[in-house]
């Protein structure tokens, strides 16, 4: 849940910037890039990644209540919707100056600013704590270790892909 607190802080910054964009009718490309990177890497790849690859996978091996299964499926659908919104925001950010780009940025920022607090509340208050009852202490410890390894490896994977992408773009081969 500590990850949720940092995401909430970013959402507050986004909301402030959103009000500024509405007032000035222009978007700060640097801020939008920061938002896209933060949500894509931290909120989605790191946080949602651990939920999907570790917690949800582990829960799928358990006999969970219909209610918890419904919430888990909703959370997965929300993750997908969030990814689509970030992709749209990214597309809009690169339309700089074209008609409708600022309005589309506003719409997608509003969606994200509205989405994350509700999504986090659902996870915090209705899913994470109750879902832990399905696991033994040993299973919880194993999941925590797996999450630690996920975090530890993620940054290396992220920047390895950055370098490989640049190498590919420049037709370079790996040593």
Rounded CA-CA distance 102/9 in Å is 23
- Rg, C-alpha atoms of the chain: 19
Write the secondary structure of 80-128 as one string of H (helix), E (strand) and C (coil): HHHHHHHHHHHHHHCCCCCCCHHHHHHHHHHHHHHHHHHHHHHHHHHHH
DSSP 61: T
Q: Which residue has the higher pLDDT, 71 or 90?
A: 71
CB contact at 8 A, 21 and 27: yes
pTM of this structure: 0.85
Domains for the chain: give ranges and CATH numbers. 2-136 (1.20.120)
Q: What is the pLDDT of residues 35-81, one digit of tens each?
A: 999 999 999 999 999 999 999 999 999 999 999 999 999 999 999 99
Rounded CA-CA distance 55/41 in Å is 18
Q: What is the pLDDT of residues 92-139, one digit of tens each?
A: 766 665 656 888 999 999 999 999 999 999 999 999 999 999 999 999
How many C-beta neighbours within 10 Å does residue 11 have? 21
Spatial neighbors of 117 by CB under 8 A, at least 6 apart, are: 8, 11
Tell me the C-alpha to C-alpha distance, in Å, between residue 150 and each of 10, 55, 156: 22, 12, 10
């Amino acid at each position: 849940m500590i990850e949720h607190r940092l995401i909430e802080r970013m959402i507050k910054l986004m909301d402030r910037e959103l009000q500024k964009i509405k007032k000035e009718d222009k978007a700060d490309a640097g801020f939008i890039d920061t938002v896209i990177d933060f949500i894509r890497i931290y909120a989605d790849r790191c946080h949602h990644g651990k939920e999907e690859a570790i917690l949800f996978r582990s829960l799928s091996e358990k006999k969970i209540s219909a209610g918890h299964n419904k919430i888990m499926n909703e959370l997965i659908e929300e993750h997908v919707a969030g990814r689509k919104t970030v992709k749209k925001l990214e597309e809009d950010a690169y339309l700089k100056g074209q008609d409708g780009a600022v309005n589309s940025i506003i719409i997608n920022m509003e969606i994200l600013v509205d989405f994350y607090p509700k999504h986090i509340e659902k996870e915090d208050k209705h899913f994470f704590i109750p879902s832990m009852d399905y696991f033994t202490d040993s299973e919880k410890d194993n999941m925590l270790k797996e999450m630690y390894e996920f975090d530890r490896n993620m940054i290396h994977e992220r920047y390895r892909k950055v370098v490989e992408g640049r190498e590919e773009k420049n037709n370079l081969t790996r040593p």
